Amino acid sequence: MDEFQRQAVVASITRDPSEPCRYTPPAKRRDFSTLVGPATSLAPEREHFRSDAADAADDTARSNRLLHTASRTVAEEDPITSRVQDVQHLRRLKEMGLQPTWPEAQKASQQSELQVGNAARLKTDPENMLLDSHGRHHTYLRISLTERCNLRCTYCMPPEGIDLQPEEKLLTTDEIVRLAGLFVEAGVTKIRLTGGEPTVRRDFQEVVGRVGGLPGLEQLALTTNGIILDRHLPSLASAGLAAVNISLDTLLPHRFELLTRRKGLHRVLHSIDAALEAGIPTVKVNCVVTRGVNEDELLDFVEMTRDKPINVRFIEYMPFDGNAWSSPKMVSYAEMKSTIEDRYGPMSRLQDPMTEVAKNFRPEGHAGSVSFITSMTEHFCSGCNRLRLLADGNLKVCLFGANEVSLRDALRGGASDAELRTIVHGAVQRKKARHAGMFEIARTANRPMTSIGG
């Protein structure tokens, strides 16, 4: 390295990050051998740029940029550390006997070395990528197949709708299957397909067949609004679908139209019966309870479980972008349970697995069961085993968290399976011990529910 190149590398690290500089994307295959730094911004097409001189000096370091543009979050948690994300630069400073300008660079370098060590271990122990820093092993992956939906539920989609990403920015079937296979190889035993509305994806049945056939997958599940579920049930049963959750917030036709901005209650009710008749082992109904909207129908939903072996799950109203959440609208688990037991008497508590998000009960004499999902009043973070792969290829480690990392960009940049494991492991390691309280969640920028899939 000549003196000009040496100075260029030093300048690119020690410059004020607020200074503008240009960036020319590399044409060569990306190198994903390291995963470093905090997540960057979810703002469209935003990158941490380097100077042209530094790019000319070190093309190898430049090729690692895809890792950093892949790691995204709605809000930067540590803007100082984000200045020194390029670990290749830090290493070159060390080789030249120089010290980084910022104290945080020392910490970033140490963290990067640890992550490199993790990457080496992941090659021989892929299950490691699912273990977070709090000891939680993630064996459940939710995959959003599309952002599109044939309903417009008020708590799920803003009144103005959402800006759908172009199809080329969404995961292809081959990409979904490859990533799903990677997670299953690492220890994921359950995959749930979500949306948007997954059944509106053109190749939905192909995705179901290929994902359901992955060696080592123990359970394939589906979350749907049920509008066109019945037409897919034969292929779903053949693919071994183990469970289906059908979203339904009212049993009144006029209210259904108000909540979903569409007609079709009769089709959803038919799909519930059709799923039972098709022999799907587990059929659940998800009901988001909102004060002043549908809390007066709690007992009607419980009646559905009297003669049908279904599980009705009452969900506390949660804040997401565009759904106008406020605490008075939320009906707590305690209030819902009290209302039901005032009518049916004490319910028997069913045994819940440690990773179960719902509190499960059976009303006396009922064929089915009733559950409560208490995300707002009694979080279940300590037993969380869920990861979310969104339709655009972003991995979301917490439903209420802002941190995301793009596996799509890594895939299309030529990442190997080992390199993808490294990226996943880095994202999982950044998962927090628990999400914030309900009011903090309400103030945190997040995607609309239709983009996450629950």
Q: Assess contact for 122 and 115: CB atoms under 8 A.
A: no
- Tally helices (H) and strands (E) across the chain: 17, 14
Q: What is the pLDDT of residues 431-440, one digit of tens each?
A: 888 654 444 5
Q: Which residue has the tokens 């565009």?
A: 322
Identify the segments of the chain with pLDDT beneath 70.
Answer: 1-127, 160-161, 319-326, 379-380, 434-454
In this structure, the strands spanning 369-373 and 311-316 are: parallel
DSSP letters spanning 194-252: ESS-GGGSTTHHHHHHHHHT-TT--EEEEEE-SSSGGGGHHHHHHTT--EEEEE---S-
pTM, to two decimals:
0.70
Q: Helix, strand, or coil here: 258? A: helix
How many whole angstroms separate alpha carbon 11 and alpha carbon 16?
9
Buried b (16+ CB within 10 A) or exposed e, 25-51: ebeeebbbbbbbbbbbbbeeeeebbbb
Q: Helix, strand, or coil here: 159? A: coil
**Which secondary structure element, helix H or strand E, spans residue 113, and what is its range?**
helix 104-124
Cβ burial of 174 (10 Å; 0-12, 13-18, 19+) is exposed
Q: What is the pLDDT of residues 181-234, one digit of tens each?
A: 999 999 999 999 999 999 999 999 999 999 999 999 999 999 999 999 999 999
Q: What is the DSSP letter of 165?
A: P
Question: Cα separations (Å) of 384 from 267, 316, 387?
Answer: 33, 17, 9
Q: What is the pLDDT of residues 61-120, one digit of tens each?
A: 433 444 444 444 333 333 323 333 344 444 554 555 554 444 334 444 544 554 455 455
Which residue segments constitute the domains of the chain, with CATH numbers given? 3-124 (no CATH), 129-400+435-452 (3.20.20.70)
Cβ burial of 228 (10 Å; 0-12, 13-18, 19+) is middle
pLDDT of residue 291: 93
pLDDT of residue 438: 46
How many whole angstroms separate alpha carbon 288 and alpha carbon 314?
6
pLDDT of residue 354: 74
**Which secondary structure element, helix H or strand E, spans residue 289, and what is its range?**
strand 282-289
